[in-house]
Amino acid sequence: MCVASHGDWATLEFNDSGSGFASADMVKLGGRFHRPEGSIGESGGLGLSIAQAIVRLHYGQLEFDRSHLGGARVSFSLPHAIPDVQQAGDPGAPLKT
């Protein structure tokens, strides 16, 4: 886990050395009811979509990638200050960094 501040953003990043995400699943992660092929357990495929909705409501961004450890990297960034709602627009839309 790594916490960093870059400009006006705070970022929390998690890395693991597990099997990671398949390339085909990268664009689908965060979608409701999406379960990557080979998923273990009885998940309904809502966890990452709920996390993404929470981060977006706080004008942030959630990203999925491959970790330098060989597994998955999941990070989210939130602005240090809440943007002016008139200028920021819909919190469900990703912000430009």
| CATH number of the domain within which 38 lies | 3.30.565.10
Check residue 97 and give its pLDDT: 44
Q: Which domain holds residue 13?
A: 2-88
Q: Which residue in this structure is represented by tokens 């008139």?
A: 86
Is residue 95 included in any domain, yes or no?
A: no
* Average pLDDT of the residues of the chain: 80
- Residue 95: CB atoms within 10 A of its CB come to 15
**47: Cα separation from own chain's centroid:** 11
Tokens of 65: 């990638």
Tokens of 43: 């998940």
User: Which pLDDT tens digit goes with each residue over 4-48?
Assistant: 998 999 999 999 998 877 777 777 777 776 666 666 666 667 788
pTM over cut 0.85: no
Closest Cα to residue 59, out of 2, 8, 7? 8
Q: Please give the C-alpha separations between residue 70 and each of 12, 81, 88, in angstroms, as whole numbers.
A: 18, 34, 36
Is residue 94 included in any domain, yes or no?
A: no
